[in-house]
Structure 1
Amino acid sequence: MAWSTREIADLAGTTVNTVRHYHRLGILEQPDRMSNGYKQYQVSHLIRLLKIRRLRDLGAPLDQIADLTLDGGSASGALEAIDADLVAKIGQSQRARAEIQAILHGTSVTGVPAGFSGVGHLSEQDQSLMLISSRLYDDDVMQDMQKAASAHPDAVGKEFDDLAPDADQVVRKDLAERYALTLMKVMDDHPSLRDPTRHLLKSLEVTQNTLLESILAVYNPAQRDVLARAIVIASDFSAEGRVTEGEPTA
């Protein structure tokens, strides 16, 4: 018995266009034709087509089908690669489910990078900067950021979040000095944050420009001023510490 393209496609649970695509890729042999030009698919074609469909259902990419020796041979290497890809996808799905559950239970939010569970207390501005940072820094920095962000917010951080745009200079100076201590503790506890320029995904110029524009966009003038002062103070303390540590003892 012989089948037409439409008939064999129907038997295999696929479409005529898919059968033709398999022909073009060379993974399904062309059948003989009758004198009138119509194709005559045989049982061997149906079996091969069903094997292709089986592998496709298992997640095998079309460009690997030919390597899987559909005629009964072994192709452990290609199958192991497919299995590894499935394992990665399962892991990604499990992480996504964990993130969704965290959001549903109020322990995470949608405006932070994947993996930032337990950071529901972050301000909207901080969430935005975390999200942008995930496109600028590698996993080491982001993991340290996640650990730092998971810590319970202190009073200084809350003051910074609530700082009014027109806060006076006395308030700014006092908050900057206390906020610098928070920054220093974060850097001490999380090594990669001391020099994140070693962990860039983009060029230094792109990273600096992106962060600058982001800070200007998400923080109000008083917050930007306090942040700049705190960074300077924290940097000065760190520099002094390095000098002191490097001085010879008597």
Structure 2
Amino acid sequence: MAWSTRQLAELAGTTTKAVRHYHEIGLLEEPERASNGYKRYGAGHLVRLLRIRRLTDLGVALADVPSVESGDEKARQILRDLDAELAADIERRQRMRRELAAVMENRAALDMPPDFRTLADDLPETQRSLLLAYSSILTPAAMAALRAQLAGPRRENLEAEFAALDEDAPEEVRQRLAERMAPDARRQHRDHPGLADLGLSSHRETPVAESVVAHALVEFCNRAHLDVLRRVHAILSEEETTESESDGARG
């Protein structure tokens, strides 16, 4: 008994369109036709079609099917490359599952770069948003340094006070806050000097990196926040100038 194209496709778990396509590209030999003009397929065609299905289900491209079937070194290389792609895809999906689990456990982790999710509860929303924006420009080494910085000793009360700073906070409040924040900023610059240089810490062109930092600060911080940060920078710059003058006098 012979089978029609439809019956062959059903037996192999594919479609008549796929069978015709395999004929067109030379993967599946066309059978002889019956007196009525219809194709009549046999067991050999079924086995061939099942073999094609198996290889394509494994991820082998149709164009590579003949090479893989040859069993030579080219076939082995194609399979090795495919295995490497599958391993990378498995790792990516496993990473996605870990990140989904973190988000299901703690919604705040959605606002953090993947490696920072354990810090989600400890950081204000504004800082989480800044970190996520910075992750688009910083190198892996710079992100690791930033993570180490945040995982170290921090004055959470001071961070909370800065986060809650009202846009109309008086100048004296801003100045006092900047003076209290300056020692922490000084220590962070000392322990992680590379983070202060976007040319070194970013994998983007410097103008692009600077635009990301500028836009993020303006959009996620109010005017009082930006003023306090400017004051902190001024304090540190003044200290560096004083130290340089002292070193020059001693020299």
- TM-score grouping bracket, smaller chain normalisation: 0.7 to 0.9
RMSD (Å) for aligned C-alpha atoms: 3.3
Distance 2:225 2:189 in 1: 20
Q: Which runs of at least 4 in structure 1 moved beyond 6 Å after TM superposition? A: 246-250
Give 5+ residue unaligned stretches, structure 2: none
| Gapped regions of structure 1 (runs ≥ 5) | none
Alignment of 1:1-250 (within 5 A): 2-23=2-23, 26=25, 28-34=27-33, 38-58=38-58, 60-62=59-61, 65-66=64-65, 68-73=67-72, 75-106=75-106, 109-120=109-120, 121-151=122-152, 153-154=154-155, 155-235=157-237, 237=239
| Contact 1:99–1:108 (8 Å) recurs in 2 | no
Give the match's secondary structure for 1:116: helix
| 1:99–1:31 CA distance, 2 compared to 1 (3 A) | same
The answer on whether the counterparts of 1:4 and 1:39 sit within 8 Å (CA) in structure 2 is yes
Offset, 1:90: 2.1
The structure-2 alpha-carbon separation of the partners of 1:16 and 1:187, relative to structure 1 and needing over 3 Å to count, comes to farther
Compare CA radii of gyration and give the structure with the larger one.
2
Q: By how many angstroms is 1:114 displaced?
A: 1.9
| Counterparts in 2 of 1:73 and 1:136: CA distance versus 1, 3 Å | same
Would you say the 8 A contact 1:172–1:225 is kept in 2? yes
Which amino acid is 1:94 matched to?
Q
How many angstroms does 1:27 deviate by? 6.7
Cα distance, 1:2 vs structure 2: 4.3
Residue 134 to residue 17, structure 1, CA distance change in 2 (3 Å): farther
The total of aligned residue pairs comes to: 247
Maintained 8 Å contact 2:198/2:209 = no
- TM-score with structure 1 setting the length: 0.80
Instruction: Give the letter for the 1:31 counterpart.
Output: E
Q: TM-score, normalised by structure 2?
A: 0.79
Q: Which has the higher helix share?
A: 2
